[in-house]
Copies of this chain bind each other. A is one copy, B any other.
C-alpha cells in the first residue's frame, strides 16, 4: 500500500493491537508506541501486544502503551517485524492474524494481508512520522520524543551508514516538535553502566582476528555476563563493538544465550553482505547488519561462522 492508502486503511477501522518484534529494540517499541499515540489523536483506540523481552531502557518511555488485560482488539498491525519467526515471545499465535505490516526491512516476507514497506528508510520511526504527519498534520512533544528514540537508536545516533539526508531531516523536525534530543542522547548513547564497561573489557581481551585483522569476532559467554553484572540493557549494541576496530571489515559478536545456543550479530562494511552470512544459518537482516541463532556451543559456533565468512567473502 502507499502512504495515503495506509492512512485511509487506519482511519476506516478502529481498536488496533500492535505487534513488535522479538528481542525488541528502540525502533520497534517506540515506533509502535508513537503509532498508538497518533491513532489516539485521530480518535482511535490502540495498544501494543505484550513483549516480555522489552527492557527498562525503553519501557520507561513506552511501557504504558502495552494493552491492559482483557483488551478486545479488532485489527492486528505489526511494526518493524520482518518475518513470522520474529514475532515476540507469547505472540506466535498472531502470525496469521496480521492485517497490516508497517516495516522498513526489504526482506519483509509479506506475511501480512497488506503491507506498507519502505525499505529505503533507516528506521520504522521515519515511516510512522510520515504516516502521522499525513494522518494528523502534526505530532505532540511526547510522540516526537518516542519517534526520536526510534530513529536515533536504529541509526546509532545517525552514525550508521543507513542514515540518509531524509533521516537527518526527520530528526531535525522531531527536535523542532519538542523531542529533547540532548537529554535522550545522554541516556541512550552517552551513558555506560560500569558493568557494561567491565564486560566490554573482558570481551576485548578474548577477541579473535582472522584474515589479517579484517574479520574480528568477540565471544561473550553467560559466565562473562554474570561476572560483569551486566543486565540485558547493558548488553545493548554490543554487536557494534568488534566492527569499530581499525581495519575490521566483518565484526561479529557471538553471545551464548542458552546451553548450546549462540546468537550471532554480524556487522559489515559495503564489501561484504552480513545478510548472506547469516542466511547460511537461517537468519538474516540488512546488508551490513544481520543476525542468526545457532544451536551450537559458543566456540563451535564461532568457528562455523568464521568459515561462513570465508565462503561468502572470497
When distances are taken between beta carbons in the complex, the residues of chain B under 8 Å from A204 are 197, 201
Q: List 6 A-B contacts (CB under 8 A).
A: A157-B158, A159-B190, A165-B172, A186-B269, A191-B244, A194-B245
Query: Which of A17-25, A74-82, A100-108, A175-183 is near enough to bind chain B?
Result: A175-183
Choose one: B171, B181, B246; the contact of A191 (CB below 8 Å). B246
Choose one: B165, B189, B192; the contact of A176 (CB below 8 Å). B165
When distances are taken between beta carbons in the complex, the residues of chain B under 8 Å from A171 are 158, 168
When distances are taken between beta carbons in the complex, the residues of chain B under 8 Å from A244 are 190-192
- Distance from A308 Cβ to chain B, minimum over Cβ atoms (Å): 23
**B-contact 0/1 string along A271-283, CB 8 Å cutoff:** 0000000000000
Choose one: B185, B243, B246; the contact of A193 (CB below 8 Å). B246
A236 at the interface (CB under 8 A from B): no
A310 at the interface (CB under 8 A from B): no
Residue of B nearest to A173 (CB): B165
Residue of B nearest to A288 (CB): B182
- Distance from A13 Cβ to chain B, minimum over Cβ atoms (Å): 34
User: A194, B269: Cβ atoms under 8 Å?
Assistant: no
When distances are taken between beta carbons in the complex, the residues of chain B under 8 Å from A164 are 175
A161 CA / B175 CA spacing, docked (Å): 12
5 A-B pairs with least C-beta separation: A161-B182, A168-B172, A165-B175, A169-B172, A165-B176
> Interface residues of A: mostly helix, strand, loop or mixed?
helix
A160 at the interface (CB under 8 A from B): yes
Residue of B nearest to A166 (CB): B172
A228 at the interface (CB under 8 A from B): no
- Distance from A82 Cβ to chain B, minimum over Cβ atoms (Å): 22
User: B160, A158: Cβ atoms under 8 Å?
Assistant: no
- Distance from A145 Cβ to chain B, minimum over Cβ atoms (Å): 14
A119 at the interface (CB under 8 A from B): no
When distances are taken between beta carbons in the complex, the residues of chain B under 8 Å from A175 are 163-165, 168
When distances are taken between beta carbons in the complex, the residues of chain B under 8 Å from A165 are 172-173, 175-176
A160 CA / B157 CA spacing, docked (Å): 10
**Contact residues of A between 177 and 229, Cβ < 8 Å to B:** 181-183, 185-186, 189-194, 197, 201, 204
